[in-house]
């Protein structure tokens, strides 16, 4: 009976990233500045731009240049609703970055070649992994949604096994660490131990805004404001929670396996 049910709807699996996927393109990333580098003056009677954001992701320098740190964006949409002239949603799954500062819009000036250096360093580390990659997930204080979205990767729509990517129970077999949550103090040690138990080469992905920048729980007696201070992070993925496609994007970005048309690397 189940075998027949399994054939019922034909192939449901996406072919992304090899082929475009309508749903992937329609998902919503973090908020972004529509014209990076543009200047905005606050208008009378309106709250200042920085006050719009409950997690302090928006700032304005002396010249009035607006910048938005997507690593702190919890996708509440308040800035987009209040100032649609300045802020919008970043479409599609490509919201991960290879450095924490890479999540800031407009980009922070970095020494030339640093990103290329990071990328080639990561590339050299992950080359040996080829097409058999094992993921280990650790929850360091998530709200529970990131686990759902990571686990969704195993459902027939995303089916990451088709890409040679698998989940593993043992950190000894893991190549990639997916860490979620704001870095709850109680998870500091278990997270570090899991990282230490993984063999080299290893890649760490901070999955979600809480992991990347602390999110709403932030830094307190109970949380460390993200996992960046606990383990060395290679890929930073904002989102509250990030969609399964954006998690898949982040994994492929960490492995250097994104095809050119998805290569909006930053």
Partner 1 sequence: MATGTGTILGSVPALWDELTRRVAAGCRFADLFGTAQHDGGLLLTAQLTGPAGLETWQALLPPGTVSYPALTPRLGAAFWYEREIRDMFGIMPEGHPRPQPLILATAGDPPRPGGGSQPAAAERVPEVLPSHVAGPGLFTIPHGPVRSGVVESIEYLVETPGEDIPHLNMRVFYKHRGVEKRFEGMTSADGVLLAERTEGIASVAHALAYCHALERLAGAEVPWAAGLIRVVHAELERLACHLDVIVRLADGAGLAVATARFGWHKEQVLRLVGQLCGSRFGRGVVIPGGVQGSPRIAPAELLATLTELDRSLGVDLRVLMGTASFLDRLRRTGPLAPQRAAEHGALGPIGRGSGSTDDGRAARPYDAYGSLSVRVASRRDGDAMARLEVRVEEIAQSFHLLRQAADELAGVAGGPVQVPCDPAGGRAVGWAEAPQGEVLYDVSVSGGRITRCRARTASFHNLVLMHEVFAGDILTDFPFIEASFGLSVAGVAR
Q: Where along the sequence are the contacts to partner 1 (CB under 8 A)?
A: 1-3, 5-6, 8-9, 12, 23, 27-28, 54, 74-77, 81, 89, 137-152, 154-157, 167, 169-171, 181-182, 184-191, 193-194, 215-218, 220-224, 240-241, 243
Of the pair 5, 19, the CB lying nearest partner 1 is at: 5
**Rounded to the nearest 5 degrees, what angle is found at the Cα of 228, between the Cα atoms of 225 and 229?**
80
Of the pair 122, 250, the CB lying nearest partner 1 is at: 250
29's enclosing H/E stretch is strand 28-33
Task: For the CB of residue 112, give the shortest distance to partner 1 in the complex, in Å.
Answer: 37
3-class secondary structure, 216: coil
Of the pair 100, 185, the CB lying nearest partner 1 is at: 185
Q: Which of 72, 105, 158 is closest to 266 using CA atoms?
A: 105
Of the pair 152, 265, the CB lying nearest partner 1 is at: 152
Of the pair 17, 183, the CB lying nearest partner 1 is at: 183
Query: How many CB atoms sit inside 10 A of residue 167's CB?
Result: 17
Task: For the CB of residue 249, give the shortest distance to partner 1 in the complex, in Å.
Answer: 16
Query: How many CB atoms sit inside 10 A of residue 165's CB?
Result: 23
Of the pair 98, 230, the CB lying nearest partner 1 is at: 230
Task: For the CB of residue 216, give the shortest distance to partner 1 in the complex, in Å.
Answer: 5
Six token digits for residue 154 = 């195993």
Task: For the CB of residue 147, give the shortest distance to partner 1 in the complex, in Å.
Answer: 5
At which residue do the structure tokens 């973090």 appear?
30
User: How many CA atoms lie less than 13 Å away from 162 in the CB half-sphere?
Assistant: 16
Of the pair 1, 260, the CB lying nearest partner 1 is at: 1
Task: For the CB of residue 83, give the shortest distance to partner 1 in the complex, in Å.
Answer: 16
Task: For the CB of residue 11, give the shortest distance to partner 1 in the complex, in Å.
Answer: 12
Task: For the CB of residue 128, give the shortest distance to partner 1 in the complex, in Å.
Answer: 25
């Amino acid at each position: 009976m189940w075998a027949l049910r399994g054939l019922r709807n034909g192939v449901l699996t996406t072919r992304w990233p090899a082929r475009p996927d309508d749903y992937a393109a329609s998902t919503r990333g973090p908020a972004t500045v529509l014209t990076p580098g543009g200047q905005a003056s606050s208008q009378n009677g309106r709250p200042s731009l920085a006050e719009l954001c409950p997690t302090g992701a928006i700032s304005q320098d002396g010249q009035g240049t607006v910048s938005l740190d997507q690593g702190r964006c919890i996708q509440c949409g308040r800035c987009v609703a209040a100032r649609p002239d300045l802020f919008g949603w970043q479409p599609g799954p490509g919201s991960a970055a290879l450095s924490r500062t890479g999540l800031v819009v407009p980009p922070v000036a970095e020494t030339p070649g640093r990103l290329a250096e990071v990328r080639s360093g990561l590339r050299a580390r992950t080359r040996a992994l080829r097409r058999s990659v094992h993921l280990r997930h650790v929850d360091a204080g998530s709200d529970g949604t990131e686990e759902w979205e990571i686990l969704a990767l195993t459902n027939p729509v995303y089916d990451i096994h088709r890409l040679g990517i698998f989940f593993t129970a043992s950190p000894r077999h893991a190549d990639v660490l997916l860490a979620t949550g704001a870095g709850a103090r109680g998870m500091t040690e278990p997270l570090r131990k899991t990282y230490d138990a993984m063999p080299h080469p290893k890649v760490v992905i901070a999955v979600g805004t809480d992991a990347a920048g602390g999110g709403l729980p932030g830094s307190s007696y109970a949380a460390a404001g993200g996992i960046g201070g606990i383990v060395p992070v290679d890929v930073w993925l904002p989102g509250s929670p990030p969609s399964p496609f954006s998690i898949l994007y982040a994994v492929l970005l960490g492995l250097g396996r994104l095809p050119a048309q998805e290569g909006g690397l930053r």
